[in-house]
Structure 1
Amino acid sequence: MEKLVSNWSNVQSVPENYIFPPETRPGEYLKIPFSHSIPIIDLNEAQNGDRTNTIQKIIKAAQEFGFFQVINHGISLNEMKETMSVFKEVFQMPDEYKQNMHLDDDLKTCKIFTSSLRYETEKVHLWRDSLRHPSHPLEQWQHLWPENPTTYRECVGNFSIKIKDLGSRILDLISEGLGLECEYFDNDLTGSMIISVNHYPPCPTPSLTLGITKHKDPYIITILMQDDVSGLQVFKDGKWISVEPLPHAFVINIGHLLEIISKGKLISAEHRAVTNSSHTRTSAAFFIAPSDDCLIVPAQDISDENDRPILKCFKYKEFLKQFFNKHGDTDMLRKSLEAPKN
């Protein structure tokens, strides 16, 4: 428990084992202006008869940025605020309670941990605490979630159902835009969903450390709910751009698996989280992912004009294991998944 950043973060300087090398720390790129070119997509358009235009906007955003924000998505602002409030309350619970959910082995389904799941072996620690647990199918996992706050299971359960539905609607638009059959992703490709709530306390020198390092998400898509504190940065065209936390929007990240399935038509955005010296930031990521034994293959109905190497068929659980073994290095991972040439 004493390892949780939130338990000791009120310090004068960043401990040495939280200082990243100069080439990966934020440095002068800690505070960068919000990018006004980031696509904001109104999902009402698809509901009101302009479905084709919405699909074109989503595909363009997924090709150029690998992410976008959605508004008018059908989940109320009050529901978002209430759920975020419950998430934040978990990190304010007494230490004895958090101790019961603290990571001491990999068998725990619902866990609070600091930095990453590889804390004991990593060279530099992340400036964050995290709550993580599966949320779909709901009936399989809900009884293992935190008992406190007392509203957690009901509130987060109802919210996660709506998020899963939102993910299905977005993926339906994407599949149509890729020329795939309707409901292409409504199967084991989206058979699971994981909730990851990240809690970033204020940091005395945020330019030296990171909340999350540069990475791609090893899932189909990520639906991210931010609070009103900025911190998300996306790597585009060789530089970092900052994503504004809009009050009633979700950030949608294209996952690395969707890049593979789409044969590179869509790109998975590399992103990171930076900290700040005055405000705690909380974000909740909903990772829509395949079932463990789901076979991942590039979609046959998509032509590959780039003549990319053919990837062998693989089970999702094998992919995920390799992803973490290679510390999120997707280039190295992709090479390991290439089918041998004749």
Structure 2
Amino acid sequence: MSVFVSQATATHSDLPILDLTRFYDPETRPQFLQELQVLARDIGFFYLTGHGLSHARIEEIESISQAFFALDQTEKQRLSMDNSPHFRGYTQLYAENTRNIPDAREQIDIGPELPALPFDAATPLWHRLQGPNQWPTDWDEFQQVTTAWLRDLRRIATDLLHAFMLALKVPENALDAFVTGTPNELLKLIHYPKTELQHQLQQGVGAHKDTNILTLLLQDQVGGLQVQRDGKWIDVPYVEDAFVINIGETLELATNGYLVANTHRVVSPTQQDRYSIAYFISPNVFAGDLPVLQLPAELQRLATGSVSDPLNPLLKSIGQNSIKSRLRSHLSVTAKFYPAQYQEIISNPHRVVGGQYDA
């Protein structure tokens, strides 16, 4: 595998590596921002090193993740997301959908540990995304490690967002109002069991674009993540201690298509189980409509407008964007806590839902 730093040598079979320490150094920052500006538009995916998390910290979260999935199924089911209107907790194999097809993965979703917001028929539906997590019993280390990971990944993601803003020649804090205050962030510990389907692809995660601002993914050496480039699927191999960075549709919308959210998927492993840890940062639940940033004229000329996935259209309402994908992905939760929206989905799978609460 060939990996590289400069975007000038990028090919369709490789992704660039950016070292975040170059952003913190005044001498190397200008070149870092120039590379980020171009590669983020031309490729959309890249590896990030120099993030400040040690190899030991990475091994710790990976160990915690594997230990969780080794728990007895009864204990994992006790934490089922079906208990949570906030879409927090454990999802068993084939219980989450991408583009209406079940994904061959199990996972646990963890967010900031916050109280549920007061809620009635007049409250925007997406306010219900805030709430408490579900934790394994008698395992304080699990909560401590994952909570620390959320805190540190939020710092990295915010620094990277600031780098994006400077690379686009807008104020560093241009989108701070959407990521500070009450956070809307999510940590997913994910397990993809190996499959016996040797001669056909099984959907670990179906092809999709992320709707959030940025995704930071830590993956193991098993492989399976692929990004779509020019109509072809390109492997995204493992790079030690590096995060795979994925631009979300929210940034595509905010930059009027200068930045592009790429379509990606995970193919189920056939030789051994795969584990990954994904962190998603999204606008907070109180944010209003997303602004379109006023880019310099030379960048505006390259902005082609955002391209919405017709099967998961992007909306200007940040809150509605946040809730709609959750409603479609976790239908058992939707059926239990959002029955009106569930009926809309099953009666018309391509209709956008996620407005006011209507139980």
Structures share fold, TM-score greater than 0.5: yes
Cα pair 2:288 2:319 within 8 Å, conserved: no
The RMSD of aligned alpha carbons is 3.2
Q: How does 1:205-224 map to 2 (within 5 A)?
A: 205=197, 207-224=200-217
1:43 aligns with 2:45: no
Aligned AA (2:77): Q
1:137 is displaced (CA, Å) by 6.6
* Percent of aligned pairs sharing the same letter: 25
2:319 pairs, out of 317, 325, 328, with 317
Paired position in structure 2 for 1:202: 194
Selected match of 2:159 from 165, 169, 173? 169
Q: Could you tell me which of 90, 110, 133 is aligned with 2:110?
A: 133
Distance in structure 2 (CA, Å) of the matches to 1:188 and 1:38: 29
Aligned-pair CA distance for 1:68: 0.6
- Counterpart among 75, 81, 104 of residue 53 in structure 2: 75
CA distance in 2, matches of 1:170, 1:122: 29
- Unpaired stretches in structure 2, ≥5 consecutive residues: 1-10, 116-129, 309-313, 330-349, 353-359
* Superposition pairs of residues 118-197 of structure 1, within 5 angstroms: 124-135=101-112, 144-147=134-137, 149-189=139-179, 191-197=183-189
Seen in structure 2, the aligned counterparts of structure 1 residues 95 and 187 have a Cα distance that, compared at 3 Å, is: same
For structure 1, the 5+ residue unaligned runs are 1-33, 335-342
**Cα pair 1:232 1:243 within 8 Å, conserved:** yes
**Alignment match, 1:6:** none
The TM-score, its normalising length taken from structure 2, stands at 0.73
| Residue 231 (structure 1) shift | 1.2
> How far apart, in 2, do the equivalents of 1:66 and 1:198 lie?
23
Superposed CA offset, 1:212-246 (max 9, x none): 00100010000101122111100011111111111
Q: Which residue of structure 2 lines up, in the alignment, with residue 85 of structure 1?
A: 63
Q: Please give the residue correspondences for 1:285-300 in structure 2 after superposition, counting only pairs within 5 Å.
A: 285-300=278-293
Q: SS of 1:296's equivalent? A: coil
In structure 2, C-alpha distance between the alignment counterparts of 1:65 and 1:318, rounded to whole Å: 28
How far residue 317 of structure 1 moved from its aligned partner, in angstroms, is 1.9
Secondary structure, counterpart of 2:228 in structure 1: strand
* 1:151 partner SS: helix
Quote how far apart the aligned CAs of 1:96 are.
2.4
Verify: 1:271 aligned to 2:264, yes or no: yes
Q: Secondary structure at the match of 1:208?
A: coil
In 2, the alpha carbon distance for the partners of 1:63 and 1:287 equals: 20
> CA 1:275/1:300 → structure 2, altered by over 3 Å: closer, same or farther?
closer
2:225–2:264 Cα contact (<8 Å) kept: yes
Tell me the secondary structure at the aligned position of residue 214 of structure 1: strand
- How far did 1:271 drift? 0.5
Decide which moves more: 190-199 or 274-283: 190-199
Partner residue in 1 for 2:233: 240
| Shift in alpha-carbon separation, 1:333–1:270, aligned structure 2, 3 A | farther
**2: CA distance, partners of 1:284 / 1:72:** 18
Q: How many residues align?
A: 296
CA shift digits 1:23-54 (9 cap, x unpaired)? xxxxxxxxxxx965311011122223210111
Task: Describe the shift of the 1:333–1:264 C-alpha distance in structure 2 as closer, same or farther (beyond 3 A).
Answer: farther
In structure 2, what is the equivalent of residue 59 of structure 1?
37
What one-letter code is carried by the residue in structure 2 that aligns with 1:114? Q
TM-score (norm: length of structure 1): 0.77
Quickly say closer, same or farther: Cα 1:137–1:261, change in 2 above 3 A. farther
